[in-house]
Chain A
Amino acid sequence: MTDFLTVCLNGVTLAALYFIVASGFTLIFGLLRTTNMAHGSLYVLGAYVGVSVVTITGSWWIGLLAGFVAVALIGIAIHLGLLSWMAGQDLRQALVTIGLSIIIADLLLAHYGGITYQIPPPDFVAGSISLPFVVGGQYSAYRLFMIVIAAALGGALWLILNRTRVGMYIRAGIDDRDMLSALGVNVSRVFLFVFALGAGLAGLSGVVGATALSISPGEDGRYLLSSLVVVIVGGMGSLGGAAIGALIIGLAEQIGLFYAPTYSIFITFVIMAAVLAVRPQGIMGRPA
Chain B
Amino acid sequence: MSGTAAAAGGKAARRWGLPLAGIALLILYPLVLPLLFNANQARYWTLSIGSQSLILGIVALSLIFMSGYGGMVSLAQAALAGFAAYMVALMNLLPSTTATGGTIGLGLPSIPSAVIALVLATLAGALVGAIASRSSGIYFLMLTLAIAVGFFYVVLQNYQFLGGHIGFAGIVGPTGQPRQNPIAFYYLCLVVAGLAYVGLRYLVRTQLGLTFQGIRDNPRRMRALGYRVSLHRVAIFAIGGFVAGLSGVLGVWYRGNISPGVVDLSRTIDVLIIAVVGGLGYPIGAFVGAVAFLILDIFASSVTLFGFSFDERFNTLIGLAFVVIVIVAPHGLTGLVDRGWRAARRRFSSVGAPVAAAAADVPVENPMDAIAAPPIDPIDQRDPDSMGISR
Contact = CB atoms under 8 A, between A and B. Distances in A.
B96 interface: no
Interface string A78-120: 0000100110111110111011111101110010000000000
Contact of A98 (B135, B272, B376): B272
A272 B211 CA distance: 29
Given A106-B313, A236-B139, A276 B134 contact: yes
B322 to A, nearest CB: 4
B191 interface: no
A264 B137 CA distance: 29
B258 to A, nearest CB: 18
Contact of A102 (B73, B145, B315, B376): B315
Contact of A99 (B100, B149, B158, B322): B322
Contacts of B135: 232, 276, 280
Contacts of A264: 157
A266 interface: yes
A105 B318 CA distance: 12
Contacts of B131: 272-273, 276-277
A101 B315 CA distance: 10
A268 interface: yes
Nearest to B264: A221
A284 to B, nearest CB: 15
Contacts of A220: 265
A103 B150 contact: no
A127 interface: no
Interface in A12-37: 33, 35, 37
B326 A99 contact: yes
B372 interface: yes
A265 B149 CA distance: 10
A177 B367 CA distance: 24
Interface stretch (A134-142, A182-190, A223-231): A223-231
A259 interface: no
B138 A91 contact: yes
A194 to B, nearest CB: 15
B150 A268 contact: yes
Interface string B130-149: 01001111110111011101
Secondary structure class of chain A's binding surface, majority of residues: helix
Interface residues of A, number: 48
Nearest to B377: A288
Nearest to B372: A89
A263 interface: yes
A102 B318 CA distance: 8
Contact of B371 (A91, A103, A263, A266): A91
A273 B143 CA distance: 10
A110 to B, nearest CB: 6
A160 B66 CA distance: 41
Nearest to B102: A262
B83 to A, nearest CB: 14
B289 interface: no
Contact of B149 (A105, A110, A225): A225
B371 A89 contact: yes
Contact of B150 (A33, A106, A265): A265
Contact of A100 (B158, B266, B312, B323): B323
Contacts of B314: 106
A122 interface: no
B302 to A, nearest CB: 18
Interface string B369-381: 0011111111010
Nearest to B314: A106
A94 B371 CA distance: 11
Interface of A: 33, 35, 37, 82, 85-86, 88-92, 94-96, 98-103, 105-107, 110, 177, 220-221, 224-225, 228-229, 231-232, 236, 261-266, 268-269, 272-273, 276-277, 280, 288
Given A86-B372, A280-B135, 4 more contacts: A94-B138, A99-B319, A272-B131, A288-B139
15 contacts: A92-B368, A92-B372, A96-B323, A96-B327, A101-B319, A102-B318, A103-B315, A103-B319, A225-B149, A232-B139, A262-B157, A263-B158, A276-B143, A277-B131, A288-B136
Q: Which 5 pairs of residues, A with B, have the shortest CB-CB distance?
A: A102-B319, A89-B372, A106-B315, A99-B323, A103-B319
